[in-house]
Amino acid sequence: MNSTRVDLRFNRQWCLAAALCALMAVAATHAQSAGVLRFKFAFGPGAVSPGYIQVLPTMTYSTAAGFGFEPGADLQAIDRGGGGSLRAGLIASDKPFFFSVAVPEGNYKVTVTLGDPRMATDTTIYAELRRLMLERVTTELGKLETRSFIVNVRRPEMSGGRVVRLKDREKTTEAWAWDDRLTIEFNGSHPSVSALEVETVDVATIYLLGDSTMCDQPREPFNSWGQMLTRFLKPEVAVANHAESGESVSGALAALRFDKIWSEMKKGDYLFVQFGHNDMKSEDPGALQTYTANMKRVVDETRRRGGIPVLVSSVSRRTFDAEGKKITDSFKGYTQAVREVAREKAVPLIDLQASSATFYEALGPEVSHLAFATMQEGTHHGDYGSYEIAKCVLMGIKAARLDLATFITDDFNTFDPATPDPIDGFKLPKSPLTTSVAPLGR
């Protein structure tokens, strides 16, 4: 059967979308009654396998439908035949596009079938706020490939009527991090998807709480290591990134960010804590002592709930000495306080200040700016920098002999920040979402 391009000018598929809403409601109700929420989507025209919901390019996300493409998608729907199998149809594009599904808060296993039976494809997948899930999955002509990953979806509400106190940016450019849907970004030189399945899953969770160098940065050119960490973890563990730009440990406590995590934490879950960048700016004469006391409190409260705290020292700033050889310590004793709390409380420590400094020094003062979002930046990373810093974290996990090291993907073996990956060889597709506004905190 010849390829058929669906004419987007025709709106008759809106009727089909409305009809499918009722089908989704029935499917979701049945799945939830069994303790599992599961959706199965078949992309493109043609016959659809039993149990799958057909998705066509005209289906823009709406609250009523509960699924669909985010506005602005430029899509091609192709019927390859196949008699109702997942090879029958697909949706592809030469530009990034977003697909969302309304789901409750929780961890979800997402399984995608990528490829085109008659064309080679190249797909990179991000989730929610640009969390890297799959990096450059290529398929040869005539081949399909199925991959899975875990996505955490959250809401600001918690039991007892309490609500996380969100910043204004979390209600606007960062809204996808807190909304009622799971959003997938299909990116790459030729992203192509035949099927997508979403289902609730009970797995261990790695909670992250820290500042702008750790949080899910919403738009290019800014990025953080927390957004890259997901790419290096098997679909057996979730990452819930609660870090936020401009945040301090005292601010996170006051905003109930820790309470939100503690309200969900299960025995054996991890909490990675990285603060210092913003804490050190306080002019209170007792600020360092308060910081230290708060870090101890976080350790104790996490352990009381059966969680495993991991302390992470602040990522170094790009502050070379006069000779341009060594990175100077700009943290006024705050990173040392983290080390001391780790020793006193027998907490695993990932010394990211040390490993990131080694990384910058390896690049040198003339090249290291390429690890950051802009030429003027010395704090916030771009894609390459955050990718390399995430590898430093992985090595820290291994060095600390944490059990979650078993969840690291098989394609990651080791990393030495003194010999980082060549910048020229780093090719990660850019998200279409961009900004000129720097994150909070420096």
- Interval 83-102: pLDDT, tens: 556 667 899 999 999 999 99
Dihedral (Cα; 411, 416, 418, 424), 10-degree rounding: 0
Q: What's the pLDDT score for residue 83?
A: 58
With 70 as the cut, is the pLDDT of residue 15 above it? no
What whole-number percentage of the chain has pLDDT above 90? 84
What's the fold here for domain 1-202? Answer: Jelly Rolls (2.60.120)
Average pLDDT, integer, range 257-278: 98
Are β-strands 143-153 and 106-116 bridged in parallel, bridged antiparallel, or unpaired?
antiparallel
With 80 as the cut, is the pLDDT of residue 308 above it? yes
With 50 as the cut, is the pLDDT of residue 415 above it? yes
With 50 as the cut, is the pLDDT of residue 397 above it? yes
With 50 as the cut, is the pLDDT of residue 20 above it? no
202-257 pLDDT per residue, tens: 999 999 999 999 999 999 999 999 999 999 999 999 999 999 999 999 999 999 99
Q: What's the pLDDT score for residue 196?
A: 97
Average pLDDT, integer, range 395-403: 98
Q: Which CATH architecture has domain 203-431?
A: 3-Layer(aba) Sandwich (3.40)
For the entire predicted model, the pTM comes to 0.92
Q: What's the pLDDT score for residue 142?
A: 81
Radius of gyration of the chain (CA): 22
Average pLDDT, integer, range 292-321: 98
125-164 pLDDT per residue, tens: 999 999 999 999 999 988 899 999 999 999 999 999 999 9
Q: What's the pLDDT score for residue 87?
A: 64
Average pLDDT, integer, range 312-328: 97
In the structure, what pLDDT confidence band is assigned to residue 47 with cuts at 50, 70 and 90? Answer: confident
What whole-number percentage of the chain has pLDDT above 70? 91
Q: What's the pLDDT score for residue 84?
A: 57
Report how far residue 274's alpha carbon sits from residue 295's, in angstroms, rounded to the nearest whole number: 10
With 70 as the cut, is the pLDDT of residue 23 above it? no
Q: What's the pLDDT score for residue 118?
A: 79
Q: What's the pLDDT score for residue 430?
A: 95
With 80 as the cut, is the pLDDT of residue 1 above it? no
With 70 as the cut, is the pLDDT of residue 18 above it? no
With 50 as the cut, is the pLDDT of residue 17 above it? no
What are the sequence ranges of the domains in the chain? Answer: 1-202, 203-431
Question: How many alpha carbons lie under 13 Å from residue 234 in its C-beta half-sphere?
Answer: 12
Mean pLDDT, the chain, rounded, equals 91
